[in-house]
Structure 1
Amino acid sequence: MHMGECQCVVARLEGGDSLIKAVEHIVKALKINRRNLTNDERKILADLGSQLTSIANMIEEDKDELGLSEVEKRFNTARDKIMNWELDQSMIWDSGSEEVNDYLKAVGEVREVVETLEGLNLIKDSEEDKLLRKTNDVLQTAMARLEEEFTHLLINFRQPSEPGQMSFRSSEEDVIDAGSTLSFGDESVDQDIGGSMSISRNSSADYIIDLVHPSIIPDLKCIANLMFDCNYDRECTRAFVNVRRDALDDCLYILEIEKSSIEDVLKMEWGNLSSKIKKWVRAMKIFVRVYLASEKWLSDQIFEDLGTVGSISFAEASKASILQLLNFGEAIAIGPFLPEKLISVLNMYEVLSDLVPEIDAMFTNVKTECQDVLARLGICVKATFDEFKTAVASKTSTNPFAGGGIHPITKYVMNYIKTLTDYSETLNLLLKDTNEKQSSSPFSSPDKDQEDDDIPTKTSPSNVPSLSAITSQFGSLISILETNLEDKSKLYKSEPLSHIFLMNNIRYVAEKVKGSELRTILGDEWTRKRNWKVQHHAMGYERATWSSILTPIREREDSGGSGSGSISKTLLKERLQSFYVAFEEVYKSQSGWLVPDEQLREDIRISTSLNVVQAYRNFVGRHVHNHHLSEKNIKYTADDLENCILDLFEGAPRSLRSLHKK
């Protein structure tokens, strides 16, 4: 390389060519001309080498002057602050706001150092790279400490969640006076939660309780934001989910909800299971509308600045608890379809149905499970109702019901159906598919000739067309009951008692319908038909009982000797005596029969009295007046018989001996 070439390189360098290109040009020239260099050229190259060494040293000094030593100094100060707390067993947030601020400032310094060093193109194992690894280690230590502090705050500042100790609040802060009653469907907070409490309502109409003390939420939010900024989001959300999952488990425990497998539920006796269902119905409302709503609110507050993190963390924390409740519902739905379960399952269905919109609004990961359980409960309701029909139809007897009163099955079925009217809308929805198959069902009508009497028509009731499904289903169920009663009436050897039995039971059915919401469902025409049946059996009773008894004393033409129309006194006495014997037997037996309905009992007595007493009075009056019979032949007065008839159907057999005329 000649002097001119070196000057050219310098000129190019001064003209703005890159340093690397200049060096490459010099190295190339030296390879070509290194043996032909003059002494002057060798001297210039030696001077250039010295200058490059000096420049390299100056660059290192400039780099320190530009702040690398200052960065390391800041890191060392922050590191000391952070590591000193690792030797301390106390919690930072228990040590006062000054210590908290100092610690957070130290963490912020370390984070800035990390960001500064990560912004440089560092050479592996260089001093700067080693410093970066140190800062990351310290940052990890700080994050672990913040996770511990975060957990500590969530646990130690939890608010009481037992009934009667809750402090209700709202994002609106519109606090209502303690002791106020807020409604959950048809039940009040006082019933479901109990105790004196401070209640408030948020804009979503949820009832929010402070799961942690409100004063600590800004600190939790600060820690969460810092951990997320440092890319320790998983550690932060994991701490939140673990703590709040345990807290929600405690809430279920407070609500007396135990963890039970489906197999455990299926093995439970009905008494125990019924109690658990009642607790489940109560717990669902409180857990979803109070605890979960409050949990969602807490999560949203802590992770307010972090997008969807709040919703995701809430869902993860609460999923296990809501699934525990849903699993119990599923176990009930797949269990045996016992008639005694129907009301309980309806309660479960209605509660879950009401809560579905709220659960859907809070969760994205349990919607399917919730809908599945609701559908299963609906199927269980239909199957249990059909099983109830089957049970009523198959409830046979081998002995007649004593006294002809109201059979227990009549009371059970009618009280059962009356209770079901509280669930009219739900049943109408769930039984509509069953109603469409009514015509092909064995329960549609036990006797096609009486179908119009047993199953209400579409125009009955005309004012509630929306209840067509339960109108048909309830009518079908009652017709099954009536068929069962018809079969039971045939067990009586006495035809009159058979009529009394059917009259009593059909009357009971009609009165239950008339005095309840069933009247609206089944219609007045349906009730009139039952009342007609009652009258039919009342007349049947009178014919079967009194027609033969009154035959001896009914006035008729009696032929005497020589066609004179005279009546044999002996025959009259025999006829009267025959009447007395038959009447006494009726009194003895039918005073032991029972007609519980006071009005019905009075109506039968009056009708019987008008028929029997009048016939007796006419017979005795005529023949005593005509001297065919003497006073000594008269055993009872008409008033005696009337009083005796007033003793009938009291359920206690009596004797007429005390009324014998002396």
Structure 2
Amino acid sequence: MAKKAKFSFFSSSSPKSPSLFTSFPASPLNQNFTQSMMEKSVETAESVIRKWDPNTPSFTKIVSLFNHNRKEAKEFIICVRDLRRAMHFLVSQDSQSPKLALAQTLMQIAMTRLEKEFFQILSSNRDKLDPESVSGQSSISSNSEFEDSMRSYDEDEGDNEIKKAGESITQVEKASAVVMSDLKAIAESMISCGYGKECVKIYKRIRKSIVDEGLSLLGIEIYKGSRFHRMDWVTLEHMIKNWIKATKIGVATLFRGEKLLCDHVFSASNSTRESCFYEIANEAATNLFKFPELVAKEKKSHERIFPLMDLQAAISDLWQDIEMIFHFDSVAGVKSQALTSLQKLKVSIHSALTDFESTIQKDSTKALTPGGGIHKLTRSTMSFISSLSEHSCVLSEILADHPLPRNIHLLESYVRSPTLEDEQHNHAVSVHFAWLILVLLCKLDTKTEHYKDVSLSYLFLANNLHFIIQTVRSTHLRDLLGYDWLTKHEDKLAAYAGNYEIAAWSNVFMSLPEEPTDLSPEEAKIYFRRFHTAFEEAYMKQSSRVVPDAKLRDELKVSIAKKLVLEYREFYRKYLPMLGQERNIEILVRFKPDNLENYISDLFHGTPILGSSSFSSSSSSFVLDFTWMCCRLKNSIHSFG
């Protein structure tokens, strides 16, 4: 409570600020302030102030002045203002005046009452002063509409004050602004009379408890590094998600609301509002932004990069609010802690990227992918890179400071060149992604050494490169890597497919004579036998190959059929009539052109061939036809399944 016989309001160093209710000269010595006016001011103040003396047994001891009668509350504040002016006058005229002693006693009573009112308003209006209500108001410090309504108060307007408080805002905001104006009026009155210390002490204690309680309800605790070392990653990841949600609310609502409230209530004194906000927010906000630093110090691996980037993005997104809210020198430590956390996160994220690259390079899996399909390293790596691309804004800040320590001119020629200055950072991300994919392609190339069949090696490379291209085309990677990258890698895919055809089907292609030529019936027989043998061998081997992507599968089959079936059809049409008189012609010429198309159409599903790889001349056609029918049946079942 206010202390007895306090005289600090007489000091020339006392805070001087305009009253909330009416303007008056900054100097306490008003030349027109006559003796009679002074006496009347003291008498008026005595009647009002003694009524609300908290030490009397009357009902006013337990009733709130500002809640009970707003008209009297305003009169009380005006009386305190006039009493202070009267005391300044009395001191200048006669410091031993009995009126001065009376005024001094009245001032003590008034300050005790205002201290009690300030505490009651802060304590009983937490719902109207919650940070969300406060921060929801666009300009708290300029709520002159409320203050004007109090300045121009008269008996007819008193009952309609909240209605006049501003029709453009909600009832909750109206009530909140009225409470805030009351606090401001009391604070300015107490500070101007030398009782600022008591006022500030109450404010700090109550509002700090509200901030601490608010953060606790959001799940924010006191963070200590020792606990993080013992924590499993699943628990830590859950804490990260909660921290991001809590911090968005904490900064944008809790701390912002407290800053706005503090600025409004103590707008008359910059030093007071800075001191109050420091005591209320500094410790809690510093602890809040220490969490990402502690997370960043934990063991780094690429699997943990995404929560780290989420933390980085959360702080970056809030940085403008952080700078605005914690702009006082006294709370500069909060910004410093947030910057430290950002820097530690950048280091940890870059370390995770390095770990990811190393994981690709060190992959030692020797297991062959059945049928030359897509390797699990390709799937996991492209899934990871495509997910990384969704965080390109975060990565751009990091990779711009950590360029690849290699000659990357060749890589830069692959990716889209930046056209605007703000694309330079994204260019660094693009080059890095191009490098990671190149590392993957090189690793896949080394894995082809485990395939003994050359055609299977090329099919493996084609399948995996096609998967990579499709992943790039269907994700944000397309925008980062650009058209040139896609074109160059599609050309490489076409080369792989072409090499596969040559390695897998060249014996079949070469089993037919080169045009133009005229063959004898005996020579035609030799070429028919040679072709049938070559095709059977190639078909039985290639039927176990797999091409998972339907589009690539169809393109390969069309390409093979276009080269093979057309050439065989012409050979068949020209030379079959020569053999018309041959006995067992169906054994000698086992394939019709349409048969070839059927066999080729069922390639690349990974369906194994039934039977031996060497067919007798008498049964090979039957077995091959039977195999073809089985393949068709299995593929039909698979499509319905």
Both proteins in one fold, TM over 0.5:
yes
* Whole-angstrom distance in 1 between the partners of 2:69 and 2:590: 108
Alignment of 1:255-270 (within 5 A): 255-265=218-228, 267-270=230-233
**CA apart distance, 1:399:** 0.8
Equivalence for 2:435: 476
State yes or no: 1:659 paired with 2:628. Answer: no
Equivalence for 1:353: 316
Alignment of 1:161-310 (within 5 A): 168-171=136-139, 213-265=176-228, 267-310=230-273
* Whole-angstrom distance in 2 between the partners of 1:394 and 1:602: 35
* Whole-angstrom distance in 2 between the partners of 1:172 and 1:147: 23
How many aligned positions are there?
536
Report the residue type matching 2:512 in the other structure. Answer: R
Deviations 1:593-625 (A, max 9, x none): 1x2333221111011112333454456556543
Equivalence for 1:28: none
The normalised TM-score by structure 2 is 0.69
Residues 159 and 402 (structure 1 numbering): CA distance in 2 closer, same or farther, change over 3 Å? farther
* Whole-angstrom distance in 2 between the partners of 1:242 and 1:576: 96
Q: Secondary structure at the match of 1:457?
A: helix
* Candidates 434, 439, 453, aligned match of 2:402: 434
Q: Secondary structure at the match of 1:438?
A: coil
Residues 646 and 258 (structure 1 numbering): CA distance in 2 closer, same or farther, change over 3 Å? farther
* Whole-angstrom distance in 1 between the partners of 2:377 and 2:81: 78
Does the Cα contact within 8 Å between 2:134 and 2:257 map onto a contact in 1? no
Deviations 1:458-487 (A, max 9, x none): 885364672442232112111111122223
Q: Secondary structure at the match of 1:169?
A: coil
**CA apart distance, 1:230:** 4.1
* Whole-angstrom distance in 2 between the partners of 1:587 and 1:423: 42
Deviations 1:556-604 (A, max 9, x none): 89xxxxxx995496x66864663364145225413xx1x2333221111
Q: Secondary structure at the match of 2:340?
A: helix
* Whole-angstrom distance in 1 between the partners of 2:81 and 2:111: 11
State yes or no: 1:498 paired with 2:457. Answer: yes
Residues 164 and 287 (structure 1 numbering): CA distance in 2 closer, same or farther, change over 3 Å? closer
Does the Cα contact within 8 Å between 1:150 and 1:223 map onto a contact in 2? yes
State yes or no: 1:342 paired with 2:294. Answer: no
Who wins on radius of gyration, i.e. which is larger?
Answer: 1
Residues 260 and 230 (structure 1 numbering): CA distance in 2 closer, same or farther, change over 3 Å? same
* Whole-angstrom distance in 1 between the partners of 2:58 and 2:443: 82
Q: What is the identity percentage for the equivalent residue pairs of Structure 1 and Structure 2?
A: 25
**Consecutive unaligned residues in structure 1, runs of 5 or more:** 1-66, 176-199, 445-450, 558-563
**CA apart distance, 1:427:** 2.7
**CA apart distance, 1:328:** 1.5
Equivalence for 2:294: 331
* Whole-angstrom distance in 2 between the partners of 1:211 and 1:484: 67
State yes or no: 1:555 paired with 2:527. Answer: no
Equivalence for 1:610: 562
Report the residue type matching 2:601 in the other structure. Answer: L
Residues 229 and 517 (structure 1 numbering): CA distance in 2 closer, same or farther, change over 3 Å? same
**Consecutive unaligned residues in structure 2, runs of 5 or more:** 1-38, 144-166, 611-621, 630-641
Equivalence for 2:544: 589
* Whole-angstrom distance in 2 between the partners of 1:306 and 1:482: 66
* Candidates 325, 332, 337, aligned match of 1:362: 325
State yes or no: 1:543 paired with 2:495. Answer: no
Does the Cα contact within 8 Å between 2:218 and 2:246 map onto a contact in 1? yes
Residues 354 and 249 (structure 1 numbering): CA distance in 2 closer, same or farther, change over 3 Å? same
The more displaced of 402-411 and 103-112 is 103-112
* Whole-angstrom distance in 2 between the partners of 1:503 and 1:367: 52
Does the Cα contact within 8 Å between 2:190 and 2:196 map onto a contact in 1? yes
* Whole-angstrom distance in 1 between the partners of 2:113 and 2:604: 87
**CA apart distance, 1:133:** 14
* Whole-angstrom distance in 2 between the partners of 1:435 and 1:649: 42
Does the Cα contact within 8 Å between 1:617 and 1:638 map onto a contact in 2? yes
Does the Cα contact within 8 Å between 2:129 and 2:176 map onto a contact in 1? no
* Whole-angstrom distance in 2 between the partners of 1:78 and 1:568: 130
Does the Cα contact within 8 Å between 1:78 and 1:106 map onto a contact in 2? no
Deviations 1:358-392 (A, max 9, x none): 32232221232232222222223322222222222
Report the residue type matching 2:260 in the other structure. Answer: W
**CA apart distance, 1:145:** 6.0
What do you get for the CA RMSD once the two structures are aligned? 4.7
Alignment of 1:411-450 (within 5 A): 411-435=379-403, 437-439=405-407
* Whole-angstrom distance in 2 between the partners of 1:458 and 1:574: 49
Deviations 1:229-259 (A, max 9, x none): 3433233222222222222234334544444
Report the residue type matching 1:609 in the other structure. Answer: A
The normalised TM-score by structure 1 is 0.67
The more displaced of 479-488 and 257-266 is 257-266
* Whole-angstrom distance in 2 between the partners of 1:164 and 1:109: 37
**CA apart distance, 1:174:** 12
State yes or no: 1:509 paired with 2:468. Answer: yes
Which gives a bigger RCO, structure 1 or 2 (Cα 8 Å, sep 6+)? 2
